[in-house]
Amino acid sequence: MTGTEAPADSFESLIRRVREGDQVAAAELVRRYEPAIRRAARVRLVDTRLNRLLDSMDICQSVLASFFVRAAMGQYQIESPEQLLKLLATMTRNKLAGAVKGQRAQRRDFRRVEAMGGDAAGDSASGPGIDAIPGRGASPSREVAARDLLEAARRRLLPEELALFEQRQQGREWADIAAERGASPEAIRKRLARAVDRVAEELGLD
């Protein structure tokens, strides 16, 4: 083994353990990649003028919580640190874009209620916006341990979805799973992806 191969092997082991819900691996991933996520968030928070409403830690917690669940449920195929950094940067941009959209909708609701003479503060609090982002307010995913978050996700899967998830965790290929079910690998992959999207939404991760 050369000196350049060891980091790759270490990375592969880390991702495998994260997928298994290993709390130590999750903490190590946070240690390694949290600074990069926060840097990306800080730059975009200035650009979007949301820095008065949330900070880079809000976004970082949200991105990592979503990543842990989706990675553990087989949604990501990550082969290198560079690929992971690119994925986390994309997730950060998407989280901030959602925050901007939610804040604009909240301002529209505020103006609409104000024009009708209603209680703007009370109505806007229940609408979409910054408080819906995990890591801020009373989100169910706030600071939840990686293993607990994964278990919460598993409980929300339907029996057939859970069976797919467990087969993927065992390392089985899409083609083998699909052949048993008389479907195409792409159809099976999309079925689990839709389930992951639904669960992530239910947990307040998206």
What is the span of the domain harbouring residue 195? Answer: 5-102+131-202
Q: What is the pLDDT of residues 101-124, one digit of tens each?
A: 766 666 655 455 445 444 443 433
Most confident of 70-74, 114-118, 140-144, 198-202: 198-202
Residue 191 structure tokens? 């079925």
Q: What is the pLDDT of residues 52-87, one digit of tens each?
A: 656 667 778 888 888 888 888 878 888 899 999 999
User: Mean pLDDT lowest for which of 76-80, 141-145, 173-177, 192-196?
Assistant: 141-145
Q: Calculate mean pLDDT across residues 174-197.
A: 91
Q: Calculate mean pLDDT across residues 26-32.
A: 88
**Domain contains 125:** no
| The total number of structural domains that make up the chain | 1
| Percent of the chain residues topping a pLDDT of 90 | 17
The pTM (predicted TM-score) of the whole model is: 0.65
Q: Which residue has the tokens 């083998």?
A: 176
Residue 183 structure tokens? 């479907």
**Domain contains 120:** no
Task: Please tell me the predicted confidence (pLDDT) of residue 127.
Answer: 34
| Percent of the chain residues topping a pLDDT of 70 | 67
Task: Please tell me the predicted confidence (pLDDT) of residue 159.
Answer: 93
Element (H, E) at 43: helix 23-48
Q: Which residue has the tokens 């082991």?
A: 13
**Domain contains 113:** no
Task: Please tell me the predicted confidence (pLDDT) of residue 137.
Answer: 40
Task: Please tell me the predicted confidence (pLDDT) of residue 136.
Answer: 39
Instruction: Answer for the pair 165, 44: CB distance below 8 angstroms, yes or no.
Output: no
**Domain contains 119:** no
**Domain contains 126:** no
Residue 158 structure tokens? 């339907």
**Domain contains 121:** no
Q: Calculate mean pLDDT across residues 140-166.
A: 77
**Domain contains 52:** yes
